[in-house]
Amino acid sequence: MLPSRLCQAIGSVLKLLDEEEIFLSLLPQDILCHGSSLLFSNIKRLQTLRVWTVHNLDLSEFKIKAHLFICLLSHQGPLSITFQMDSLQELAEFVYDAHDEDLTQVFLEKTDGDLSPCSLSWDVLYYLIRGAKKKVTLDLPEGRFNLTNIPSLLTVLDTVRFKRISARYVRAALKEIYRQKAGHLIAKLLRASADLINLSMRELDSTDCKSLCFALHYSDGVKLNLLNSIIPNNETENIVRLLHRVSDLRIDKKLLLNFLRVSKAMEKQGYSMSSLFTALNYKLDFSGHSSVSSGRFGQENADPLSLSVMDCTAISSVIETTVCHTELFLHDCQADDSALECLFPILHKVHLRLSKGLLCQFLTLILNSPMAMSLKWASSLSKALGKHLDLSDTPLNYRTCESLQLVLDYTEELTDLNLSHCQITDGCLDLLALHLNKIMNLDLTGNDITDKGVQRLCSALEGNSFTKTICLCDNQITETGLLMEEARFVTLHAGTMRHAKQPNNFVTKDVGSQSRIQETCLTSKQVSVQHRRPFHVQGNWTRVRNKRSRMCRVQFGSLGYASPLRNTL
């Protein structure tokens, strides 16, 4: 790109040297119209201009009358022009009014056949498509033209490529193809729409479903979008039988559940559920974000989904048929205990994404089952949770932590555990500390952990090089010397820094350092604090470590802040 400032500078030089004989060679890959204006606007006399070859001309920022483009359209070179939207619209209508075949071909050639920015009437659009010798790109959102024009559109599918086509038009096109029993048109329609059949947000009737089945029969590897669509119950089975023709199926959680129920019932007839599973790309998404949250159908699917025993049995059955790992999304779902129990046998084969409430429900089920079953279920759940486990802002009692301990005992991939604001006590921490060697990052912010809990954490960390950080912000900790001895303890939130006054009444056993400490306290009124809030020290000895000093023991006053000594120690 030749920048405008350089064009302006060269133009100024050309103005000063207007009387001289100048040889100027410019071969930029790109140049703006504004830059060209700055380059040549000051030249009054030009003897010879050798013009470089222009392949792409971007006029998208300039609104110019259509008839002024005729000279550009007649350019013989391989020139591609990008027009401003209104100018392109006006030029297309100008070409239509002219009804000149050569002009039409030149117009489509210079615009690369891209009419997607235009909102042309059907007459203009059909004229340009019908006479095209190359692919024409169209954007057909809802309401662009009347459905009565669909039969005419089907006759020119060979020269059309859809940038977008409304589900309303797809539905009408499939109906017309089915009415004509013209299977060869299915392949043309799919080529024009990038192998996508989009029927989202539609309430399909029996004829629509028969048209879809007809299209799937003549398809292979097609993408099918049925998000937030409604299908009659008596037609669901016919569609499910043809899912082996589908490479990518997009459906909302309610329709997915309906497909699973039907597939489960069809198993007795010898139907393999693997076709449904393959079409879903090994992903079963029952969460709210799997639905388009707009319109009447999207609003209905935004409600929480209640899973019954039959539903969970169907989910379990379809997962059992595959050897691949499955993504199972259960956000915004509800289920009773008997339904969730049906999922335990397949948890070792899934990557589970679920709400914190459901996770606690799973943990409770593990705790209340017989010992042999508890161990088996804990092992399955540990394999499903992956590397990150977040139970933040979820109250956990001692019994729930016992169940979590069982899961941690079997986990092999977990690296991050978030237990912030979970009302964790020292007793709960005793259960979890046994498995610190499996957790890289542990967040215990905002719990009820005391000094005793920190001491047990320190003991558990001995010989443990895997754990990197343990966040202990906002707990009931008063003895900050314990925190300072372990570098992996985090006691400040990121970006937070507190300062506190250094108390003057202290006693140190390191006599050599005492004078320097006194001098530091006199010259520095504030020191950095490693804990977030003030606390009380009842005259006990506190061990303080500084990176640049020897170990010393300092007794603080009865009221004050615990702080590390500065680097002057």
The per-residue pLDDT for range 356-399, each reduced to its tens digit, is 999 999 999 999 999 999 999 999 999 999 899 999 999 999 99
Residue with the bigger pLDDT between 311 and 76: it is 311
Report, as an integer, the average pLDDT of 466-491: 88
Higher pLDDT, 458 or 497: 458
Asked if residue 568 has pLDDT above 80, the reply is no
CA separation for the pair 419, 395 (Å, rounded): 9
For the cut 80, the answer to whether the pLDDT of residue 177 exceeds it is: yes
Task: Provide the 10 A C-beta neighbour count for residue 13.
Answer: 12
Strands 136-140 and 160-165: parallel
**Which of 132-136, 261-265, 288-292, 343-347 has the largest mean confidence?**
343-347
Higher pLDDT, 138 or 45: 138
Residue 448: pLDDT above 80?
Answer: yes
How many CB atoms lie under 10 A from the CB of residue 282? 16
**Over the stretch 198-230, which tens digit does the pLDDT of each residue have?**
999 999 999 999 999 999 999 999 999 999 999
pLDDT at 463: 86
pLDDT at 49: 58
CA proximity to 195, closest of 226, 168, 219, 169: 219
Q: Between 495 and 6, whose confidence is greater?
A: 6
* Whether pLDDT at 404 is above 90: yes
| pLDDT band (50, 70, 90) for residue 500 | very low
* Residue 141 DSSP class: -
**What number is the average pLDDT over the span 521-528?**
36
The per-residue pLDDT for 246 is 96
What are the two backbone dihedrals, phi and then psi, of residue 384, each rounded to the nearest 5 degrees?
Answer: -85, -20
Return the amino acid letter for 345: P
Residue that the structure tokens 């133009």 belong to: 11
pLDDT of residue 569: 32
**Which of 10-24, 47-61, 548-562 bottoms out in mean pLDDT, i.e. has the lowest?**
548-562
Q: Note the pLDDT tens digit of each residue in 117-153.
A: 999 999 999 999 998 988 999 999 988 889 999 999 9
Contact in structure between 202 and 251 (CB atoms under 8 Å): no
Q: Decide if pLDDT at 565 tops 70.
A: no
In the predicted structure, residue 456 carries a pLDDT above the cut 60? yes
* 235 against 1, higher pLDDT: 235
Q: What is the pLDDT of residues 98-123, one digit of tens each?
A: 999 988 998 999 899 999 999 999 99
Give CA–CA dist 389/47, Å, rounded: 76
Residues in CB range of 131: below 8 A, 6 or more apart: 101, 104, 105
Q: What amino acid is encoded at 409 in this protein?
A: D
**Would you say residue 235 has pLDDT above 90?**
yes
> What average pLDDT does range 544-558 have in this prediction?
35
- Contact yes or no for 396/419 (Cβ under 8 A): yes
Q: What are the residues whose beta carbons fall under 8 Å from the beta carbon of 46, sequence distance 6 or more?
A: 40
Q: To the nearest 5 percent, what fractions of the chain are helix, strand and coil?
A: 45, 15, 40
Computed over every residue of the chain, the mean pLDDT equals 81
What's the first-to-final CA gap in the chain, in angstroms? 60
Question: pLDDT band at residue 425, thresholds of 50, 70 and 90?
Answer: very high
Q: What is the pLDDT of residue 196?
A: 97
Which position has the higher pLDDT, 454 or 75? 454
Quote the CA–CA distance of 226 and 249 in Å, as a whole number.
8
Residue range 486-515: average pLDDT? Answer: 48
CA dihedral of residues 331, 334, 338, 340 (deg, nearest 10):
0
Residues in a beta bridge with 136: 160
Alpha helix ranges (H) inside 472-527: 480-485, 511-523
- Listed range (20-34, 378-392, 497-511) with the worst mean pLDDT: 497-511
Q: Which domains does the chain have, with CATH numbers?
A: 167-250 (no CATH), 252-354 (no CATH), 357-491 (3.80.10.10), 500-560 (no CATH)
Residues 457 and 485 sit within 8 Å (Cβ to Cβ): no
pLDDT at position 92 is 92
pTM of the model: 0.73
Q: Is 26 a residue whose pLDDT tops 60?
A: yes
Instruction: Identify the band that residue 529 occupies on the pLDDT scale cut at 50, 70 and 90.
Output: very low
State CA 217 to chain mean position distance.
34
